[in-house]
Amino acid sequence: MPKLFPLPLTLSCINQDKIVSAIWRFPSDSNFGSQTLDSRQNLRATGQDTITFTSASNPDQWNEVTVEVTEMNGNTKTYRYGFGRTVAVDEGPATDYCPGRSPDLSFSSTQRFQRVSTGPSADDRASLGNLFRYQSMYAGDTFVIALNVPASDTTSGTFTAGFNYSDIGSNRAGRLVTLSRSKCDFTQARLWANASGTNDPAIGSSSPRNTGGLDFTINETPRSGIANITTGTWYINIKVPVEQCPTGQGCDFVLDYGHITN
C-alpha cells in the first residue's frame, strides 16, 4: 500500500549556484509546485544547499515524487524520489567532460559476465572474454568504460544488473566510481558506486574507496531504491585521486559486471 510522503520535502543541491528552478510533480503528472532561485550568489554566500518545497495539501496516498531541475545552461534534468532515495535519473543531454577522448574499453550490457582490469597483474584471460589493459593507473588518472545498452536489453522479470570493483596488484587506492551518460563525469548528479554493501544510487558525492559496487535495472519500470538505466551509451568512470595513490606507482583495479537474464 502506498505510504504518505512527509512534507516538507527537501532536495539537497551540491552546485546550487547553477540551479535556476525546480518543479515538483507527483505520479499523476500534475504540477504540484515550484520554486525559482533568483539569489544564487546569496545561496552560496550563506552556505544554503537545499531547496525545500512545502504545501498545505498533501495528496492522500503516493509513494514517489518527480523533481525537474532547470540549470543556468538551459538543460533540464529529472530526478524521481521514493521514500527518501533516488529511484531513477534522466540526465538529459550528455556533457563530455573529456572532449576528444575515447573510452578505454567498452562492452555491451547484454553480457552475462564481463571482467575489466588494468596493470601488470591484469586478468588477461582473453579466452574467457576478459577485457584488460596492461598499462597501470597512476595518481590522478581516469579510466572510462563504455557500457552500450541496446533497446532489446532489459532486466524486467529477472535479477538486477550491476558491477563490483576492487584492487588488483600490490597497492591499495581509494577510487571515485560513477555511472553516467557522460565520460569523465564526477559531478553531483551521477550514480555513485557505494562501497558499504548497500545499493544507494544517491544524488551527491562519494568519498574514494578501494572496493565498491552498484546494482541497477535496465529498460524497465524502476524498482524501489534501485537506479534504472535506459537505451544508449553509459559510462563507468573510474578515477584515482592524487592523494590516494603513491607517486609513480601503479594503483590498478579489477571490475566484474554481471547481468543474469534467466
Buried b (16+ CB within 10 A) or exposed e, 195-228: beeebbbebeebebbbbbbbbbbbbbebbebbbb
Is 34 within a domain? yes
* Same structural domain, 77 and 126: no
**Could you tell me whether strands 76-82 and 65-71 are parallel, antiparallel, or unpaired per DSSP bridges?**
antiparallel
Same domain for 115 and 48, yes or no, is no
Domains in the chain: how many in total? 2
Co-location of 43 and 112 in the same domain: no
pTM higher than 0.85, yes or no?
no
pLDDT for the residue numbered 40: 42
pLDDT of the residue at 227? 80
Identify whether 93 is part of a domain: no
Contact yes or no for 162/112 (Cβ under 8 A)? no
Q: Do 75 and 109 fall within a single domain?
A: no
Q: Tell me: the pLDDT tens digits for 33-81?
A: 555 544 444 444 444 555 555 543 444 444 455 666 666 666 667 666 5
pLDDT at 255: 96
The reply to whether 172 and 243 lie within a common domain is yes
Kindly state whether residues 136 and 228 are assigned to the same domain: yes
Answer yes or no: are the C-beta atoms of 4 and 58 closer than 8 Å. Answer: yes
State how far the Cα of 179 lies from the Cα of 164, in Å rounded to an integer: 12
Residues 6+ apart with CB under 8 A from 5: 58, 62, 63, 64, 65, 83
pLDDT tens, the chain, 262 aa long: 233 344 455 555 545 455 555 665 554 444 455 555 444 444 444 445 555 555 434 444 444 556 666 666 666 676 665 544 444 555 555 778 898 899 999 999 999 999 999 999 999 998 888 999 999 999 999 999 999 999 999 998 888 999 999 999 989 999 999 898 899 988 765 677 764 434 444 444 467 888 888 888 999 887 776 788 889 999 999 999 999 999 999 999 999 999 987 6
Asked if 100 and 215 touch (Cβ cutoff 8 Å), the reply is no
Residue 29 pLDDT: 44
Q: Give pLDDT, residue 201.
A: 45
Residue 166: give its domain's CATH number.
2.60.120.380
What is the span of the domain harbouring residue 252? 105-258
Answer yes or no: do 32 and 118 share one domain: no
Q: Are residues 15 and 142 in the same domain?
A: no
Domain match, 130 and 239 both: yes
Residues 112 and 230 occupy one common structural domain = yes
In a domain, 98, yes or no: no
- Could you tell me if residue 94 is inside a domain? no
Grid cell 504540484 is found at 32
The CATH number for 18's domain is: 2.60.40
